[in-house]
Structure formats: C-alpha cells, structure tokens
Copies of this chain bind each other. A is one copy, B any other.
Amino acid sequence: MVAVDIGGTDTKAALVTGTPEGVTAVKHSRRGTPRPVGPILDLVTELVGELRQSSEHPVDAVGVVVPGVVDEVNGIGVYSANLGWEDFPFAAELTQRTGLPVAFGHDVRAGGLAELRMGAARGLRDAVVLPIGTGIAGALVLDGRLYSGGGYAGEIGHVDVGHGEPCGCGQTGCVETVASSAAIARRYSIRTGRPVNGAVEVAERVRLGDQDAVAVWHEAVDALARGILVLATLLGPEAVVLGGGLALAGDLLIEPLRDRLDGLIAFQRRPELRLAALGDEAGCLGAALLAIDMLEDR
C-alpha cells in the first residue's frame, strides 16, 4: 500500500509492504507541505500516483495521517490551526481522487500504533508513546489499544506544570512551552541572543558545557518529567516511549529525565523510559498499518 504522513513542514509518503504485525517501507518520497487543504490534496494524490506507478505489485489501499484533531471513525480532519482545515472529509475526498480505499488517522496515534506493533512499545499493555518535536502530544496505548477520546486525547503538551510561561494555546505553564524541540531552541536564542539551528544544536552546546544551554535543557527536562508524572498518576503506564526530534539526544535526554522523575514520583507506578525505535518513519508506518487493518476488517 501507499502511506502518507502530512506534517506541518513536510509530507512524507512511502510504498509499504507487510502484515498487521509489521510493515516495511520499500520506497520513500518527501515534499514540503503546501497550504491550504486544496493543494495538500493535490500533493497527496500526486504522491500516491507516483508511488503506485513505481510499484511492482498492485497497490490495494492508501493510509493517510494528519496532525490536529482527527475523527478517525468518520475519516474527518476536524481541526488543524497550522494546516488550515476544519471538518474536512479527507477519507471521502481521497477515496474519490485515488479510486482506492483510504484509511485515515492521526499522525501521533498512528506513530504510536507502529511503535506498539513493531517498535519500542511492542508487548506492552499500557504505554504512552510521546513524540517531542515542534509540539508534544502522546499516543495513549491502554489495555493494548490506541485510545483517541473522540480525537481529543493525549494532549500532554498542554498540561499546566507550573512554570507560568504563556502558550500559544491560550493557557499558561504548558509542558510544550518549555520542553518541545522548538521551545528549547527558541528559549536558548532568547536567553543568549544567539540564534541556533534547532534543539539539536542546543544539545551539542549542553555537551560542551555551555551554561545557558544547560539551564534551558534542565528546565525542559523538569517540565517533561512533571508531564510524565501526570501521565503516571492518571494512567499508570508501564512505559513512556520518547520519540520525535528531541529523542535523538538519547542519554542526554533520558538520563536526567529519569533522575528528575525519580525525584518527583510518590505512590505512582513508575514508568520505564524508553527511546522510540522507528524515528520519523513511525507516522508513515502507522498509516500503512491503519490501511492493512482496514482491509482485514472487510
């Protein structure tokens, strides 16, 4: 099948083969995401057409995932401020354009599904898969299934952890305001007056002992630990799987995060902290799994 992950910056597509237990991308394609929804549909249609043509076997379905609030049952993109749609019937439109059955889902939850079936959350009953990028949202794996809460679940990036800084969402103290990759880069630049090329560069400066970088990193780890504590208190997950760009920092992230969480936790079930296994391919692989599940259900 063809899988498409429509992101705020890039749209990734892949030709994918496999089973409900695991899939492999055999060919990739990546383009900048246009705006608004019309040009996005054109791009998805084009990517599906190209990958379909290049396939040795007939393509039998398409899986598409998007950010924002997503109604997976009815195939509707309910809301994305960033990409500019409201109540848009993606599944129906793309079925018509491609002539193929389309499975439609949420990028973070689809990535969580991929980590659950074939990645770092495999075998777990209760887990949170937490990609940390421009924003922070979690895929909630509860009793072995992805929970969507009508499309609204998992917004741990917008829980108030008490640091008091305003967030674009209108609230204050949100986890992602200090702990997302974007926030780490922005807060380092504001603090030092030196622009940086993302959180990766701040991580490098932490390794070199730059005290401003250390302070910003420390605040990010604290906010993230407090967010994970809330997840532990409400959901008792066996593990939290850290993904997205920030997880590329590896031990520099996970070791202080584990220490901070140890310092905060009281009676809660202590979640194991793991690094995600599938990198930024998780969304595409999850979209493919959604398409396979859809075909199996028929």
Contact = CB atoms under 8 A, between A and B. Distances in A.
A138 to B, nearest CB: 8
Of listed A151, A152, A154, A169, residue having the most chain B CB within 10 A: A152
Q: Name the residue among A143, A236, A238 with the largest chain B CB count within 10 angstroms.
A: A236
Interface stretch (A30-38, A107-115, A157-165): A157-165
A98 interface: no
Contact of A156 (B125, B231, B234, B236): B234
Contacts of A143: 145, 147
A170 interface: yes
A237 interface: yes
A236 B149 contact: yes
B159 A230 contact: yes
Given A230-B234, A231-B234, A266-B170, A149 B142 contact: yes
B266 A169 contact: yes
Which residue among A125, A140, A145, A149 has the maximum number of chain B CB atoms within 10 Å of its CB?
A149
Nearest to A268: B152
A40 to B, nearest CB: 21
A152 B268 CA distance: 7
A266 B169 CA distance: 7
Nearest to A227: B234
B267 A169 contact: yes
Nearest to A158: B233
A153 interface: yes
A243 to B, nearest CB: 18
A160 B234 CA distance: 12
Which 4 pairs from chain A and chain B are nearest by CB? A152-B236, A149-B236, A152-B269, A170-B266
Interface of A: 69, 125-126, 140, 142-143, 145, 147-156, 158-162, 169-171, 173, 226, 229-238, 264, 266-269
